[in-house]
Protein backbone atom coordinates (compact mmCIF):
# COMPACT_ATOMS: atom_id res chain seq x y z
CA UNK A 1 0.00 0.00 0.00
CA UNK A 2 1.34 3.44 -0.90
CA UNK A 3 1.95 6.10 1.69
CA UNK A 4 -0.64 8.85 1.90
CA UNK A 5 1.24 11.44 -0.16
CA UNK A 6 2.39 9.12 -2.96
CA UNK A 7 0.93 9.21 -6.45
CA UNK A 8 0.26 5.83 -8.03
CA UNK A 9 1.18 5.73 -11.72
CA UNK A 10 0.74 2.88 -14.19
CA UNK A 11 3.33 1.47 -16.55
CA UNK A 12 4.21 -1.63 -18.54
CA UNK A 13 6.67 -4.15 -17.13
CA UNK A 14 9.97 -4.66 -18.92
CA UNK A 15 10.85 -7.72 -16.84
CA UNK A 16 9.31 -10.36 -14.58
CA UNK A 17 8.46 -9.02 -11.12
CA UNK A 18 7.82 -10.94 -7.90
CA UNK A 19 6.45 -9.99 -4.48
CA UNK A 20 10.04 -9.47 -3.27
CA UNK A 21 10.34 -6.58 -5.76
CA UNK A 22 7.57 -4.50 -4.17
CA UNK A 23 8.83 -1.09 -3.00
CA UNK A 24 12.15 -1.46 -4.82
CA UNK A 25 13.33 1.42 -6.99
CA UNK A 26 12.27 1.34 -10.64
CA UNK A 27 13.23 3.14 -13.82
CA UNK A 28 12.39 2.93 -17.54
CA UNK A 29 14.42 0.77 -19.94
CA UNK A 30 15.21 1.78 -23.53
CA UNK A 31 11.76 0.54 -24.63
CA UNK A 32 9.98 2.69 -22.05
CA UNK A 33 9.07 -0.28 -19.87
CA UNK A 34 9.39 -0.36 -16.07
CA UNK A 35 12.39 -2.31 -14.70
CA UNK A 36 14.27 -2.47 -11.38
CA UNK A 37 16.73 0.36 -10.81
CA UNK A 38 20.43 -0.45 -10.92
CA UNK A 39 23.26 1.08 -8.90
CA UNK A 40 24.31 2.96 -12.05
CA UNK A 41 20.97 4.76 -12.35
CA UNK A 42 21.09 8.36 -11.20
CA UNK A 43 18.54 9.95 -8.91
CA UNK A 44 17.04 11.69 -11.95
CA UNK A 45 16.34 8.41 -13.81
CA UNK A 46 14.64 6.54 -10.95
CA UNK A 47 10.92 7.05 -11.43
CA UNK A 48 9.67 5.68 -8.11
CA UNK A 49 9.16 2.39 -6.31
CA UNK A 50 7.17 -0.65 -7.46
CA UNK A 51 3.76 -0.71 -5.79
CA UNK A 52 1.82 -3.45 -7.60
CA UNK A 53 2.04 -5.89 -10.50
CA UNK A 54 -0.67 -8.02 -12.10
CA UNK A 55 1.18 -11.31 -12.43
CA UNK A 56 4.52 -12.85 -13.31
CA UNK A 57 5.33 -13.10 -16.98
CA UNK A 58 8.59 -13.17 -18.87
CA UNK A 59 7.00 -11.39 -21.83
CA UNK A 60 8.19 -7.80 -21.57
CA UNK A 61 5.64 -5.22 -22.62
CA UNK A 62 2.64 -7.29 -21.48
CA UNK A 63 2.24 -7.00 -17.72
CA UNK A 64 0.78 -3.86 -16.11
CA UNK A 65 2.57 -2.43 -13.07
CA UNK A 66 1.89 0.43 -10.67
CA UNK A 67 4.68 2.48 -9.14
CA UNK A 68 4.76 5.13 -6.42
CA UNK A 69 5.95 8.62 -7.23
CA UNK A 70 5.69 11.78 -5.24
CA UNK A 71 6.90 13.54 -2.19
CA UNK A 72 6.77 10.41 0.02
CA UNK A 73 7.17 6.78 -1.07
CA UNK A 74 7.89 3.43 0.53
CA UNK A 75 11.32 1.92 -0.16
CA UNK A 76 12.45 -1.69 0.42
CA UNK A 77 15.86 -1.41 2.05
CA UNK A 78 19.07 -3.38 1.93
CA UNK A 79 20.55 -4.22 5.34
CA UNK A 80 21.70 -0.94 6.84
CA UNK A 81 21.72 1.35 9.82
CA UNK A 82 19.75 4.11 8.09
CA UNK A 83 17.99 6.55 10.38
CA UNK A 84 15.65 9.50 9.94
CA UNK A 85 17.42 12.22 7.97
CA UNK A 86 19.82 9.88 6.11
CA UNK A 87 20.05 10.04 2.31
CA UNK A 88 18.84 7.04 0.31
CA UNK A 89 20.17 5.83 -3.06
CA UNK A 90 19.55 2.48 -4.82
CA UNK A 91 21.67 -0.67 -5.16
CA UNK A 92 22.04 -2.98 -8.13
CA UNK A 93 18.98 -4.97 -7.02
CA UNK A 94 16.76 -1.89 -6.66
CA UNK A 95 17.05 -1.95 -2.86
CA UNK A 96 17.44 1.30 -0.97
CA UNK A 97 20.91 1.93 0.47
CA UNK A 98 22.65 4.69 2.39
CA UNK A 99 25.05 6.37 -0.09
CA UNK A 100 28.68 5.59 0.74
CA UNK A 101 30.50 6.75 -2.39
CA UNK A 102 30.36 9.71 -4.74
CA UNK A 103 28.68 7.49 -7.35
CA UNK A 104 25.71 7.01 -4.99
CA UNK A 105 25.23 10.74 -4.48
CA UNK A 106 23.17 12.79 -4.75
CA UNK A 107 20.70 10.67 -2.86
CA UNK A 108 17.24 10.00 -4.25
CA UNK A 109 15.50 10.79 -1.01
CA UNK A 110 15.74 11.25 2.75
CA UNK A 111 14.54 8.75 5.35
CA UNK A 112 11.41 9.92 7.15
CA UNK A 113 10.75 6.74 9.14
CA UNK A 114 11.85 3.13 9.41
CA UNK A 115 13.98 0.95 11.65
CA UNK A 116 17.49 -0.23 10.78
CA UNK A 117 18.35 -3.91 10.59
CA UNK A 118 18.13 -6.74 8.09
CA UNK A 119 17.29 -6.56 4.39
CA UNK A 120 13.68 -6.04 3.18
CA UNK A 121 12.52 -3.53 5.79
CA UNK A 122 10.16 -0.90 4.37
CA UNK A 123 11.07 2.74 4.99
CA UNK A 124 9.09 5.88 4.27
CA UNK A 125 11.30 8.19 2.21
CA UNK A 126 10.78 11.82 1.26
CA UNK A 127 11.88 12.17 -2.34
CA UNK A 128 14.51 14.86 -2.90
CA UNK A 129 16.40 13.88 -6.08
CA UNK A 130 15.38 13.64 -9.68
Check residue 103 and give its pLDDT: 56
Q: What is the pTM of this model?
A: 0.84
Say how many residues make up the chain. Answer: 130
Separation CA 44–CA 22 (nearest Å): 20
- Residue 1: Cβ-neighbour burial (10 angstroms; 0-12, 13-18, 19+): exposed
Grouped pLDDT means (10 residues each) for the chain, 130 residues: 74 88 91 87 84 72 84 87 85 82 67 83 82
Segments making up each domain of the chain, as ranges: 7-69, 72-127
pLDDT of residue 9: 92
Tens-digit pLDDT profile for residues 25-62: 999 999 999 999 887 777 778 889 999 887 766 566 77
Distance CA 97, CA 77 (A): 6
**What is the pairing mode between strands 122-127 and 109-113?**
antiparallel
Amino acid sequence: MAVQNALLLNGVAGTTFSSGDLYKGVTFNASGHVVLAAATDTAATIIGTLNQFTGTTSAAGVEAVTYQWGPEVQVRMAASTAAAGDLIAFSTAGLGIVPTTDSDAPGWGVVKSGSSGAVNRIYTVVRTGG
